[in-house]
A and B are shown apart, each in its own frame.
Chain A
Amino acid sequence: MTAASVSFRAVGRAFDTNAGRRQVLRDVDLEVAAGEIVAILGPSGCGKSTLLRIAGGLDHASAGVVSVDGTAVVPFDPRSAVGFQEPRLLPWRTVAGNVALGLPRGTSKTAGRDKVARLIELVGLADFAGHRPREISGGMAQRTSLARALARNPGVLLLDEPFGALDALTRLKMQDLLLDVHAAAPTTVLLVTHDVDEALQLADRVVLLGSDGEAPGADIRQIVVVPGSRPRDRGSAELAELRGRLLDGLGIDRHGAARGIEATTTIPHYPY
């Protein structure tokens, strides 16, 4: 499937809870171009997973619309694939069997087997293809889950903290893997992450979700366009500046600022 554009128009979501109605998201407006990688950052509980679930048709917006390629998202939209925040692997299937679950319906047996083997190789689990989920580590399970989502070959790839449980080295490897896959078969990626550096490394744009502390619910606080083409130099000064700005947005004091050292802005705020 070819990459699809995603558009959020005035999307809001409120949940009915025992304590009454709780607004989680409000007025989210975002246009994601086909093939773009957008990272979603925000404090825990602000509604990142909820936004992703709405985009995939796993949840529905209580206000506004989300559309993929111009048509509204349908429940469990076949145009998108989800990498869940939890691995959600079928315990009775092997790693290979779980990845195969992601294959689009109608994939031939041999083509499916080849693709599964390739993906398992890519995520570095070739030696564990025959293992059950309870026999592998949390990080391996997460990579299996990523491979399963990639197997779908979706128009929109929705990844909810796909690298959260990985060690630093594996995390960098998987980030590169995602970029390779994206370069080979362009797809639109919405990626939720807690890691500012990861967002800057992977994304074309970084969306910062958060609440202004007055109106209930989170909306888009900031959109940062990440300059330069991938792979990016992890140590560049430009990225360091953006990093500081995003950390500010997340309410984290950046090093120095708290001690009264002025940060120099070398990059204009978006839009330029």
Chain B
Amino acid sequence: MTDASHAALSTGAAIHDGAAVRVAVNSGTTSIAAGREASVPPEPSGERRRLVDRRWFRILGGALIPLALLALWQWVSTSGLVPLSQLPSPEMVWLAAVDLAQRGVLGLYVAISTQRVFIGFAFGAAAGLALGAIVGLSRLADVLLAPTLGGIRAVPSLAWVPLLILWFGIGEDSKVILIAIGAFFPVYTIVSAALRHVDRQLIEAGRAFGLHGLALFATVQLPAVVPSVLSALRLALAQAWLFLVAAELIASSMGLGFLLLDSGQNGRIDRIFLAIILLALLGKLTDSVVALIERWAIRRWA
């Protein structure tokens, strides 16, 4: 079992006290808590496992509230308590999905949005890993770079949009760059903090046994931060979806963000619901994949 590390994405200053990694990002409103403790069941042991540790119960338990919400939604929308123009029924949303799918745009929108997220995430996370490693390992780089990066991080995401459009046009580039910016900061912040807080005693032991430079990094520092890196990637992915919508809301002709904006302008509330539900599903799905990798990494490295 790992320490009670939690990575919480929230606004504020970056602190790392060993038990908690708080990441400040320029997203403003969203707060996502990725509880590592909760995502890793304790190792199987001889004693009976508690109900909440059983896989089927976890899946069933997690689906309980969404199913209840769906039922409540169905009931409220059909009972006439709320007019259909305010709250479409689940069936209407389903029909909107089928309709869009038949026109061939639903798959396209999902694909283009996912592609933007993945490309932006890949670039942003890679840059975040590199700069996080440099700032976390070198005091000099920390002195030189950290204040500047902290300043850039403080810029709200939407503030980049006009600039990116002016510089890169309204094509894919500006969107992917915005998403990369969103994915960069969680990774940079967590990785640099985690590297700076690797157990000094272990580093000293590594040095005492003749390790330095790259060998020390590969033997002690990198393995020590693998779980943090995975948490960081998870947050970065969530952040990438967030920035996707920001990017697509402003200027685009495709994608889920565009669907949201377009439907808002045309009063198609069923499609708005559809887009929101799709964003939730896609975000949760990609997050679950990274969470699986994270679980494996924690078991392997912590």
Question: Does the CB pair B205–A88 fall under 8 Å?
Answer: yes
Interface residues of B in 190-210 (CB under 8 A from A): 201-202, 204-210
Q: B204: shortest Cβ distance to chain A, in Å?
A: 6
Task: Kindly state whether residue A152 has any CB partner on chain B within 8 Å.
Answer: yes
Q: Mark A82-105, 1 if CB is under 8 A from B, else 0.
A: 101010101110000000011011
CB contacts (< 8 Å) of A76 on chain B: these are 207-208, 210, 212
Give the residue name and chain of the B residue nearest to A85 (CB): B201
Main secondary structure of the interface of B (DSSP, over half): helix
Q: B216: shortest Cβ distance to chain A, in Å?
A: 11
Nearest 7 CB-CB pairings of A with B:
A88-B205, A92-B301, A76-B207, A92-B223, A82-B208, A88-B201, A101-B209
What is the CA–CA distance of A266 and B222 in the complex, to the nearest angstrom?
59
Question: Does the CB pair A86–B208 fall under 8 Å?
Answer: no
Question: Does the CB pair B208–A90 fall under 8 Å?
Answer: no
Task: Kindly state whether residue B219 has any CB partner on chain A within 8 Å.
Answer: yes
Task: Kindly state whether residue B135 has any CB partner on chain A within 8 Å.
Answer: no
User: B interface vs A, CB < 8 Å?
Assistant: 201-202, 204-210, 212, 219-220, 223-224, 226, 300-302
B209 in complex: contacting residue of A86, A91, A92, A148, CB < 8 Å: A148
What is the CA–CA distance of A58 and B209 in the complex, to the nearest angstrom?
11
Number of A residues near B (Cβ < 8 Å) is: 18
Task: Kindly state whether residue A78 has any CB partner on chain B within 8 Å.
Answer: yes
CB contacts (< 8 Å) of A152 on chain B: these are 209
Interface residues of A in 72-124 (CB under 8 A from B): 76, 78, 81-82, 84, 86, 88, 90-92, 101-102, 104-105
Give the residue name and chain of the A residue nearest to B207 (CB): A76
Question: Does the CB pair A56–B302 fall under 8 Å?
Answer: no
CB contacts (< 8 Å) of B220 on chain A: these are 90
Question: Does the CB pair B210–A104 fall under 8 Å?
Answer: yes
Give the residue name and chain of the B residue nearest to A102 (CB): B209
What is the CA–CA distance of A82 and B210 in the complex, to the nearest angstrom?
11
What is the CA–CA distance of A152 and B209 in the complex, to the nearest angstrom?
8
Q: Mark A44-71, 1 if CB is under 8 A from B, else 0.
A: 0000000000001010000000000000
Most chain-A Cβ atoms within 10 A of its Cβ — which of B208, B300, B301? B208
What is the CA–CA distance of A187 and B117 in the complex, to the nearest angstrom?
60
CB contacts (< 8 Å) of A90 on chain B: these are 202, 219-220, 223
Question: Does the CB pair B208–A58 fall under 8 Å?
Answer: yes
Give the residue name and chain of the B residue nearest to A82 (CB): B208
Known: A82-B205, A88-B202. 16 other contacts (CB 8 A): A56-B208, A76-B207, A76-B208, A76-B212, A82-B208, A84-B208, A88-B201, A88-B205, A90-B220, A90-B223, A92-B226, A92-B300, A92-B302, A101-B209, A102-B209, A104-B210
Q: Mark A218-250, 1 if CB is under 8 A from B, else 0.
A: 000000000000000000000000000000000
9 A–B contacts, CB within 8 A, in A order: A56-B208, A76-B210, A78-B210, A84-B208, A91-B302, A92-B226, A101-B206, A101-B219, A148-B209
What is the CA–CA distance of A91 and B300 in the complex, to the nearest angstrom?
10
What is the CA–CA distance of A247 and B212 in the complex, to the nearest angstrom?
42
CB contacts (< 8 Å) of A78 on chain B: these are 210
Question: Does the CB pair A86–B223 fall under 8 Å?
Answer: no
Most chain-A Cβ atoms within 10 A of its Cβ — which of B205, B207, B226, B302? B205
Question: Does the CB pair A105–B302 fall under 8 Å?
Answer: no
CB contacts (< 8 Å) of B301 on chain A: these are 92
CB contacts (< 8 Å) of B202 on chain A: these are 88, 90
Q: A158: shortest Cβ distance to chain B, in Å?
A: 9
Q: A84-B201, A88-B202, A92-B302 are in contact. Are A105 and B210 (CB under 8 A)?
A: yes
CB contacts (< 8 Å) of B302 on chain A: these are 91-92
Question: Does the CB pair A84–B209 fall under 8 Å?
Answer: no
Give the residue name and chain of the A residue nearest to B201 (CB): A88
Give the residue name and chain of the B residue nearest to A97 (CB): B219
Give the residue name and chain of the B residue nearest to A77 (CB): B208
Most chain-B Cβ atoms within 10 A of its Cβ — which of A84, A101, A152? A101
Most chain-A Cβ atoms within 10 A of its Cβ — which of B206, B209, B224? B209
CB contacts (< 8 Å) of A104 on chain B: these are 210
CB contacts (< 8 Å) of B201 on chain A: these are 84, 86, 88
Q: Mark A177-209, 1 if CB is under 8 A from B, else 0.
A: 000000000000000000000000000000000
